[in-house]
Amino acid sequence: MNTITKDQSPTLIIEDLTVAYRYGDLLLDAVRDFSLQIAAGQTYGLVGESGSGKTTVAMAVMRYLGDTGVVRAGKIEFDGRDLLSLNTSEMRQVWGAEMSLVPQNPLSSLNPSIRVGEQLSEILRHHQGLDRETARVKTLELFRMVQLPDPQWVADSYPHQISGGMRQRVLIAMALSTTPCLLILDEPTTSLDVTTQASILDRMSELIIDLQSSILYVTHNLGVVAQICDRVAVLYAGELVEDAALEDLFRMPLHPYTQGLLDSVPHLGETKDEVQLGAIPGQIPALGARPEGCVFEPRCPLAIQICSQRPPIISTNNGRKVRCHRWEEIASGSISAREIPREFKKEGTEITLDQYENEHGDTILDLRDVEVHFPLRRSIREVIITEPARKVKAVDGISLSLQRAQTLGLVGESGSGKTTLGRAIVGLVERTNGDIDLFGISLPPALSRRDFKTLHQLQMVFQNPEQALNPYLSIGASMRRPLMRLAKKSRREADKEVANLLKAVQLPPDYAFRMPNQISGGEKQRVAIARAFATNPGLLVADEPVSSLDVSVQASILNLLNELQIEHETTMLFISHNLAVVGYLADVIAVIYLGKLMEVSRSQDLFKPPYHPYTEALLSAVPIPDPSIQQGRIRLKGDVPSPVNTPSGCPFHTRCPHFLGDICVSKKPVWQMDANGNRIYCHIPVEELGAKQKNMIKQE
Partner 1 sequence: MQRLDYILKRMVMAIFVLISVSILTFFIARVVPSNPAAAWVGPHPTKEQIEKATLELGLDKPLYVQYQRYMQDLLSGDLGTSVRTHQPILSDIKTFLPATLELVFVGMLIAVLIGIPLGVLSGAFKGSWLDHFTRLISIAGVSMPVFLLGLLLQLLFFRQLGLLPLGARVSTEVALFHPVTPITRMYLIDSAVTGNWTAFKDASIHLILPALALATYPIALAIRMTRSTMIEVLNEKYIMAARISGIRERSVLFILALKNAIVPTLNALGLAFVYSLTGAILIEIIFSWPGLGTYVTNAVLGVDFPVIVSVTLIMTVFYIAINLILDILQAFIDPRVIIG
Q: Report phi then psi at 288, rounded to 5.
A: -90, -5
Instruction: Pick between residue 62 and residue 540 the one whose CB is nearest to partner 1.
Output: 62
Give the shortest CB-108-to-partner 1 separation in angstroms.
Answer: 4
Give the shortest CB-314-to-partner 1 separation in angstroms.
Answer: 35
Instruction: Pick between residue 312 and residue 375 the one whose CB is nearest to partner 1.
Output: 375
Strand order in the sheet with 81-82: 26-38, 12-23, 69-78, 81-82
What is the spatial distance between Cα 534 and Cα 532, in angstroms, rounded to a whole number? 5
Give the shortest CB-415-to-partner 1 separation in angstroms.
Answer: 16
Instruction: Pick between residue 95 and residue 614 the one whose CB is nearest to partner 1.
Output: 95
Give the shortest CB-96-to-partner 1 separation in angstroms.
Answer: 3
Give the shortest CB-176-to-partner 1 separation in angstroms.
Answer: 11
Instruction: Pick between residue 109 and residue 134 the one whose CB is nearest to partner 1.
Output: 109
Q: Which residues neighbour 328 within 8 Å (Cβ) at sequence distance 6 or greater?
A: none
Give the shortest CB-160-to-partner 1 separation in angstroms.
Answer: 6
Q: 479-484: list long-range contacts, CB under 8 Å, 24+ apart.
A: 479/512, 479/527, 479/530, 479/531, 479/534, 482/531, 482/534, 482/535, 483/534, 483/535
Instruction: Pick between residue 9 and residue 161 the one whose CB is nearest to partner 1.
Output: 161
What is the spatial distance between Cα 664 and Cα 668, in angstroms, rounded to a whole number? 7
Give the shortest CB-65-to-partner 1 separation in angstroms.
Answer: 11
Instruction: Pick between residue 86 and residue 313 the one whose CB is nearest to partner 1.
Output: 86
Closest CA to 239 of 30, 59, 75: 30
Give the shortest CB-64-to-partner 1 separation in angstroms.
Answer: 6
Instruction: Pick between residue 63 and residue 480 the one whose CB is nearest to partner 1.
Output: 63
Q: Where along the sequence are the contacts to partner 1 (CB under 8 A)?
A: 62, 64, 92-97, 100-101, 103, 105, 108-114, 122-123, 126-127, 158, 160, 171, 174, 379-381
Instruction: Pick between residue 170 and residue 241 the one whose CB is nearest to partner 1.
Output: 170
* Rg of the chain (C-alpha set): 26
Q: How many CB atoms lie within 10 A of CB 309?
A: 12
Residue 438: C-alpha distances to residues 396, 526, 570 (Å): 20, 26, 13
Instruction: Pick between residue 55 and residue 221 the one whose CB is nearest to partner 1.
Output: 55
Give the shortest CB-536-to-partner 1 separation in angstroms.
Answer: 43
What is the spatial distance between Cα 22 and Cα 524, in angstroms, rounded to a whole number? 27
Instruction: Pick between residue 128 and residue 518 the one whose CB is nearest to partner 1.
Output: 128
The answer to whether 413 touches 349, Cβ cutoff 8 Å, is no
What is the spatial distance between Cα 262 and Cα 258, in angstroms, rounded to a whole number? 6
Half-sphere exposure of 447 (CA within 13 A, CB side): 12
Q: Report phi then psi at 410, rounded to 5.
A: -110, 115
What is the spatial distance between Cα 544 and Cα 462, in angstroms, rounded to a whole number? 7
Closest CA to 579 of 611, 531, 556: 611
User: What does the CA dihedral 177, 183, 184, 190 come to, rounded to 10 degrees?
Assistant: 60
Q: Report phi then psi at 367, rounded to 5.
A: -105, 130
Instruction: Pick between residue 58 and residue 233 the one whose CB is nearest to partner 1.
Output: 58
Dihedral sign, CA of 544, 355, 536, 431? positive
Give the shortest CB-186-to-partner 1 separation in angstroms.
Answer: 10
Residue 88: C-alpha distances to residues 60, 65, 74, 83 (Å): 13, 12, 19, 11
Give the shortest CB-656-to-partner 1 separation in angstroms.
Answer: 30
